[in-house]
Amino acid sequence: MSILNKVARVSIHVNDIEKAVHFYRDVLGLNMILYLKERNIARFQIGDFTLGLHVKYPEEGGRDPGGATGIIFESEDINKTLEELRKKGVSITFEPEDRGIMWMAGFEDLDGNEFLITQNK
């Protein structure tokens, strides 16, 4: 039996919480469930998954904003999803690639945090 029974949320660092909220809420269309502007924290619900954002505290360890997040979104139509992201000015890091059992592409937020998108074959 595991002593850990679920992942509560994944949180990534951003440089500016207001700009990040605009990107995730207004550009990506995610459902914001918490925004504490004065504490530089926001959370978004995506199905059963919660994505947290916060500005890295000066005393906090860990990585700075930018780079691979390890977060993978799923799409029913990866090309349509990328087209919509492009229309909204989102930076696409790589076009759909055939990965055998799925198609995979990448995009990044305003801080260079990279996310993947997959479409099952």
The CATH number of residue 52's host domain is 3.10.180.10
Residue 105, domain member (yes or no): yes
Write down the pLDDT at residue 117. 97
How many domains are there within the chain? 2
Pair (48, 99) in one structural domain: no
Poorest-confidence range of 56-70, 73-87, 93-107? 56-70
Residue 110, domain member (yes or no): yes
For residue range 52-72, list pLDDT tens digits in order: 999 998 888 888 999 999 999
pTM flag (> 0.85): yes
Residue 2, domain member (yes or no): no
Strands (E), the chain: 10-14, 31-36, 41-46, 49-55, 67-74, 91-98, 102-108, 113-120
Question: By residue range, what is the domain housing residue 78?
Answer: 66-121
How many angstroms separate the CA atoms of 83 and 121, rounded? Answer: 19
Pair (70, 37) in one structural domain: no
Pair (12, 34) in one structural domain: yes
